[in-house]
Amino acid sequence: MTIRSWFLLSKLFLFWIVAVSVDFTRASSEKLGEGSYGVVTVDPKHSKYVIKTMVDKDRKLIEPELNFHMHASELLAKGQNIPNILIAEAFFWERDVLNLRFPRAEKIAGPGMLSEEAEEMHFVTNKKKFLKDIASALTWLHEQNIAHCDIKLPNIMYYQQAYVLIDFGSVQSRVHVIDEIEKIHKTTSWYRSPELLLNNHSFPCEGDIWSTAISYLHLFYDTRLFKYDGELDKDLTFSKAIKFQQNIMLINLSLFLDQSLFKDTNLEEIKHLQASAYNPPRKKSALVKTREQIIAKTIDINLLSQFNNRKYIKDRLLQLFRDELMIEEDGFMSEEDELIIEGDEFMSEEEAELLSAMMMIPPNMRIMASSILHHEFLSE
């Protein structure tokens, strides 16, 4: 073989090596999801693990997550049981990148999107398991004076036949008063409790209970309540985005309570605004007008404070989520109910009783996580 032939063969071999390396690199950076401060990828060398990578130059945003897993790891090493929480098995720095290595878990859902495994588990017994597992996790957290502060379906996974909490980047101590700037966006807008919507941040653990109830309604009933099109607030200024998020969730809360919580606004207008936020108009001018109408609303705090009747909350849950009460005589669902529920499941009396305790408007009247575990609905 001539020198030229060897040279060409060497180039082909080098090209093959580079191509294989590129394919491996692509495989090594397979992206599973992305949060506000990081990317979740699969590590090909440890296929049973998920690697969560968070990049932050001053490292302040990732400190809560890292500190939590360090604390939890120390407790595990001492033999303490930590139920229904997915804890990092390893964490290490690579320059300004923190890698957290987790056991591989099954993503159960985004709102209205059940995974295949979760779909198979979608029964009444599963409703009870969901509440038992998450309440177990919250009981341990709250006993440690720790609030999760960002409970939502994307932060709940399925691991070893149990629902588990993940993502502790927003954790807050029950006894620590966080700075004003930290208070904003601590909880994803769909899951913010009524007190958070009114800028009261003194009840973080009680807020976890509310967020769990909303996650439950989204997973098992695919409700349109407490949702809106996420694109609506993306190009708003910071202050307008906060006001929009607060008001749109108060609009959803108004529909749930069957009472407008805004001054000079009737319930019919509330329904129209909620429908526009869930399915925004295509024309930009109409979209902008809808957003401005929502931002301009002024809350009537006195009205909201009146909703401290647990039976009223229970009756509303049954009215909205028990199909025999929703279907009219002609066999069709009313237009009002079509704006709220899309699923075909129904709610039992015991189920509504527990959820009403989790969704009490005054946070100090909400049921504790430990008490959820002993509720009649969760009995075998």
**DSSP codes joined into one string, 204-247:** HHHHHHHHHHHHHHHHHH-BSTT---GGGGTTS-HHHHHHHHHH
Residue 312 reports pLDDT greater than 90: yes
What's the confidence (pLDDT) of residue 236?
86
Residue 222 lies in a domain: yes
Picking from 72, 103, 134, the residue at the C-terminal end of a domain is 103
Query: pLDDT: is 287 or 53 the higher one?
Result: 287
* Residue 161 resides in a domain: yes
- Is 370 found in the same domain as 260? yes
Q: Does residue 3 form part of some domain?
A: no
Provide the pLDDT confidence category of residue 53 given band limits of 50, 70 and 90.
Answer: low
Residue 132 forms part of a structural domain: yes
Dihedrals phi, psi of 162, to nearest 5 degrees:
-150, 150
Looking at the structure, tell me whether residues 35 and 76 fall in a common domain.
yes
Q: Tell me: the pLDDT tens digits for 271-298?
A: 998 888 888 888 888 888 888 999 999 9
pLDDT of residue 115: 56
Task: With a cut of 60, say whether residue 310 has pLDDT above it.
Answer: yes
Please indicate, yes or no, if residue 14 is contained in any of the structural domains.
no
Facing residues of 54 across strands?
Answer: 38, 98
| Residue 140: count of CB within 10 angstroms of its CB | 21
In a domain, 9, yes or no: no
Position 254 scores a pLDDT of 93
- Among residues 103, 123, 146, the one where a domain terminates is 103
Q: Which range of residues forms the domain containing residue 31? A: 25-103
Q: Say yes or no: 36 and 155 in one domain.
A: no
- pLDDT at position 344: 45
What is the pLDDT, as a whole number, of residue 83?
94
For residues 46 and 60, membership in a common domain is answered with yes
Q: Exposed e or buried b for every residue in 222-248, given b needs 16+ CB within 10 A?
A: bbbbbbbeeebbeeeeeeebbbbbbbb
| 201 and 66 part of one domain | no
What mean pLDDT comes out for the span 129-153? 94
Residue 19 within a domain: no
Reported as a pLDDT band with limits 50, 70 and 90, residue 318 is very high
pLDDT score for 58: 56
**Residue 136 — pLDDT band, cuts 50, 70, 90?**
very high
Is it the case that residue 20 has pLDDT exceeding 60?
A: no
- Give the model's pLDDT for residue 139: 97
Does 62 lie in the same domain as 125?
A: no
Both 111 and 242 in one domain: the answer is: yes
CA distance 378 to 132: 7
Q: What span, in angstroms and rounded, lies between the C-alpha atoms of 249 and 198?
A: 11
How many distinct structural domains can be found in the chain? 2
Residues 181 and 242 in one domain: yes
Q: Select the more confidently predicted residue: 12 or 41.
A: 41
Nearest C-alpha neighbor of 300 from the set 263, 250, 273: 263
**Does residue 268 lie in a domain region?**
yes
pLDDT at 112 over 90: no
- Do 193 and 211 form a contact (C-beta atoms < 8 A)? yes
For all residues of the chain together, what is the average pLDDT? 77
43 and 178 share one domain? no
134 in Cβ contact with 142 (< 8 Å) = no
Per-residue model confidence (pLDDT) at position 49: 60
Q: Tell me the CA distances in angstroms from 205 to 111, 125, 170, 211, 369, one per residue in order.
A: 23, 26, 12, 10, 9
Residues 246 and 374 in one domain: yes
Q: What is the pLDDT of residue 198?
A: 86
Q: What CATH code is carried by the domain that includes residue 29? A: 3.30.200.20
Which has the higher per-residue pLDDT, 330 or 229?
Answer: 229
Domain holding 296: CATH number? 1.10.510.10
Q: Region of 185 please: left (phi>0), alpha (psi -120 to 50) or beta.
A: left
Kindly report, residue by residue over 177-228, the tens digit of the pLDDT: 555 444 545 567 889 999 988 888 889 999 999 999 999 998 888 888 888 8
| Highest-pLDDT range among 39-53, 134-148, 154-168, 214-228 | 134-148
What confidence score (pLDDT) does residue 303 get?
81
Q: Last residue of a domain, which of 103, 126, 151? A: 103
| Mean pLDDT to the nearest integer, 337-351 | 65
Same domain, 94 and 138: no
Predicted confidence (pLDDT) at residue 140 exceeds the cutoff of 90: yes
Higher pLDDT residue, 7 or 267?
267
144 and 230 fall within a common domain: yes
